[in-house]
């Protein structure tokens, strides 16, 4: 048997033999069922791998077998991949390498079994679950929308390390393998079949029977061989070199070299077609040992675990589940309201969008149709799905028709009396248990709910623009919002494909409260002489999706000023807005919406913005031009770190994990840093306090209103530094 000693065991580890069932439905056939009692969905953790090893040993010795089927314990289930908790715990590269090689040995033994082996897969089949399938002779996948197949390991800062990096390229070739592994995409069954990732698809109700027939030879199925294409492309050194060169350029453009796993995976895939199984296994083990013990993997795993924790917010602590929402409404036909309504209709909620303007409603519905048509042309949805999404959205000028709604989301002007009037009128139309949600970005949910009957049903649901692309929804708990409404709102966000983070009803909530000091500090550095294009480039190198001045132009000077002013009113001098922001850098200079901000934005899809040539006249000082790159980055990033510590101290989010999740999904803060507080931990809290104190004591801060206060470390940060502690345990 294979030696798996050292592999971390879960706390509720079952007894040996409990994780795998083997059924013998007919002579010569064994059906191996992944059925761990300690998991709701099978995970390839230590107990399951241990039991699978014992089962494989029995199968190796059974000469009566003609076929073997590997499957999950129920329709729509196979396995969820490797044990993420175990990956997070492993820190010794030697131990990691040993564990990876041990699993390779087991999977190789599965591949070498004499009876025909068929994997019958359905539901989510990511990472290790797909890799064990690749070790089988043939793969049959359930043809339904819930089946998702792929190798997403690079999204966790590692690479497919149980054979995926060399088995998949040999199966489907270099270009398709690179697309699957480097992007980490999960494919629908039909797409995976067309790509050659699986050998056949079957209707869910026939999946197991089809797999049995194939295993026993009653149905003929052979893996498609690529023939001359394999030699012309995969094993042609010149072609492989060209493919690798083009892929590397794309990777560097997207990641700026910050994600080492993607580059390692590229090298592994390119080498795979000409490499032996044993050599591929050794290379994967070495790569995994280095990557899994490194900081990028640890940071990405922490974000993944945070997103998994967010999925539990849609239930009560006792497992209570809210009623499924079938009917909803959105008030406001603008960009945000239209996007929210479209997202709801996409997910099967009968949605009615209401506005006083017929033109706004027409535009919202037209945008919804355009989005559906675009996805249909790209074959991301089928015709019947497109029809359903279109059918689930209608519009009305009369709010009195919204009485059937189980949830109403308001997306009107960001003015407190307006929101109070709109929601107050709605409260008289809808039922007393209808959830009333406000898509406010800065106003108090408690104040909005003040005069509404049953204020416990009023909640904040802050979407980010563009709604379809941004993954975060801040769920704001007002003073009287009930726990049940918070859970139901989180469940709705999850259904819309979003990640919810519950935050307190404070000014700026979580994301804007952290983004504002960052953008303000960038603006102040610009006024003091720093080159905006240089700072944008520095923050791109740091890992942000765009630089601060590009972001200000995207958001708009007017919106940035409005947010900064409201935060100043709430928190005092620490949030004193930069005077240049108050001036808006001149009339009709609001950023992209007016064609000019820090950059000039020409019209046309292919036209690229260029730095405005008249910016020097707005720079009234020169001291920031003397700062080096690290000092500029520190002033921008540590302004976020300092405020994040205060937010954690005040309990704006439940814990540091949720705060970091909000910063990554809401601001785009570099995932490989693990979020704002994850970055502080990597630098060291003692070092962070030291740097903050240096900035606070600088002459330009002592002469600036609120400057010293802004960079004075919060008590929680000082305490952690004193003890050598971290925000993330």
Give me the active site residues, please: 462
Peptide bond into 466 cis (omega under 30): yes
The span from the CA of 324 to the CA of 650, in Å, is 33
Eight-state DSSP code of residue 112: T
Contact 427, 452 (CB under 8 A): yes
The span from the CA of 145 to the CA of 123, in Å, is 8
- Around Cβ 220, how many Cβ atoms within 10 Å? 7
The span from the CA of 307 to the CA of 492, in Å, is 15
Round to the nearest angstrom and report the end-to-end CA distance of the chain. Answer: 36
Strand partners, 591: 596
689-697 LR contacts (CB < 8 Å, sep 24+): 689/713, 689/717, 689/718, 689/721, 691/634, 691/638, 692/638, 692/641, 692/642, 692/717, 695/634, 695/635, 695/638
Contact 566, 444 (CB under 8 A): no
476 by Cβ neighbours in 10 Å (0-12 / 13-18 / 19+) ranks as: buried
3-class SS string, 618-633: HCCCCHHHHCCHHHHH
Among candidate residues 98, 95, 80, the one with its CA nearest the CA of residue 39: 80
Give the sheet arrangement for strand 29-34, strand by strand. 20-23, 29-34, 67-72, 116-121, 138-142, 200-202
Contact 384, 340 (CB under 8 A): no
């Amino acid at each position: 048997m294979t030696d798996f000693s050292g592999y971390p065991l879960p706390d509720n580890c079952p007894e040996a033999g409990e994780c795998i069932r083997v059924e013998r439905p007919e002579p010569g056939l064994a059906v191996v069922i992944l059925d761990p009692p300690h998991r709701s969905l099978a995970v390839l953790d230590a107990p399951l791998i241990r039991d699978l090893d014992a089962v494989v040993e029995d199968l190796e010795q059974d000469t009566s077998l003609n076929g073997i089927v590997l499957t999950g314990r129920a329709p729509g289930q196979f396995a969820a991949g490797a044990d993420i908790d175990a990956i997070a715990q492993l820190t010794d590269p030697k131990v990691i390498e040993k564990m990876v090689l041990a699993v390779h040995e087991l999977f190789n033994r599965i591949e070498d079994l004499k009876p025909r082996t068929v994997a019958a897969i359905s539901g989510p089949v990511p990472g290790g679950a797909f890799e064990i399938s690749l070790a089988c002779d043939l793969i049959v996948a359930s043809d339904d929308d819930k089946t998702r197949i792929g190798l997403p390991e690079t999204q966790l800062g590692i690479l497919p390390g149980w054979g995926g990096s060399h088995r998949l390229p040999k199966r489907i070739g270099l270009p398709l393998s690179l697309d699957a592994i480097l992007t980490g995409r999960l494919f629908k069954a039909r797409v995976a079949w067309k790509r050659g990732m699986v050998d056949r698809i079957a209707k869910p109700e026939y999946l197991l029977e089809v797999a049995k027939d194939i295993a026993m030879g009653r149905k003929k199925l052979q893996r498609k061989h690529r023939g001359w294409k394999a030699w012309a492309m995969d094993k042609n050194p010149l072609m492989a070199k060209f493919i690798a060169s083009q892929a590397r350029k794309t990777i560097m453009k997207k990641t700026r070299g910050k994600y080492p796993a993607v580059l390692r995976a590229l090298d592994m895939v390119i080498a795979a077609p000409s490499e032996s199984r044993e050599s591929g296994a050794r290379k994967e083990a070495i790569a995994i040992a280095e990557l899994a013990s490194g900081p990028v993997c640890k940071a990405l795993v922490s974000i993944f675990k945070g997103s998994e924790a967010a999925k539990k917010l849609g239930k009560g602590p006792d497992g209570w589940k809210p009623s499924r929402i079938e009917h909803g409404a959105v008030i406001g036909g603008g960009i945000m309201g239209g996007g929210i309504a479209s997202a709801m209709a996409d997910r099967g909620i009968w949605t009615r969008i209401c506005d006083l303007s017929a033109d706004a409603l027409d535009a919202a519905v037209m945008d919804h149709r355009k989005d559906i048509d675009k996805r249909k042309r790209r074959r991301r949805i089928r015709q019947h799905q497109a029809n359903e999404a279109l059918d689930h959205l209608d519009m009305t000028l009369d709010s009195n028709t919204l009485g059937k709604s189980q949830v109403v989301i308001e997306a009107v002007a960001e003015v407190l009396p307006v929101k109070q009037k709109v929601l107050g009128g709605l409260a008289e139309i809808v039922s007393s248990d209808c959830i009333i949600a406000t898509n406010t970005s800065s106003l108090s949910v408690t104040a909005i709910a003040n005069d509404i009957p049953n204020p416990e049903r009023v909640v904040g649901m802050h979407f980010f623009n563009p709604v379809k692309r941004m993954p975060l929804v801040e769920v704001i708990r007002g003073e009287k919002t009930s726990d049940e409404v918070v859970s139901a709102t989180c469940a709705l966000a999850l259904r819309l494909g979003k990640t919810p983070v519950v935050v307190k009803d404070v000014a700026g909530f979580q994301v804007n409260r952290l983004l504002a000091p960052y953008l303000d500090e960038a603006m102040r550095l610009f006024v003091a002489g720093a080159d905006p294009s240089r700072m944008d480039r520095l923050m791109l190198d740091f890992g942000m999706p765009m630089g601060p001045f590009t972001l200000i132009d995207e958001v708009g000077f007017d919106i940035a000023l409005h947010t900064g002013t409201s935060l100043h009113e709430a928190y005092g001098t620490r949030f004193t807005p930069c005077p240049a922001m108050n001036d808006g850098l001149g009339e009709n200079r609001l950023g992209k919406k007016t064609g000019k901000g820090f950059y000039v934005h020409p019209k046309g899809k292919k036209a690229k913005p260029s730095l405005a040539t008249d910016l020097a006249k707005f720079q009234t000082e020169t001291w920031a031009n003397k700062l080096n790159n690290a000092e500029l980055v520190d002033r921008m990033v540590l302004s976020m770190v300092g405020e994040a510590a205060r937010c954690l101290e005040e309990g704006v989010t439940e814990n540091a994990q949720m705060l970091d999740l909000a910063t990554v999904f809401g601001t785009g803060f570099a995932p490989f840093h693990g979020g704002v507080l994850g970055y502080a931990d990597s630098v060291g809290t003692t070092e962070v306090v030291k740097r903050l104190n240096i900035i606070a004591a600088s002459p330009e801060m002592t002469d600036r209103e609120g400057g010293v206060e802004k960079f004075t470390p919060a008590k929680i940060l000082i305490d952690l530094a004193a003890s050598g502690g971290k925000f993330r345990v």
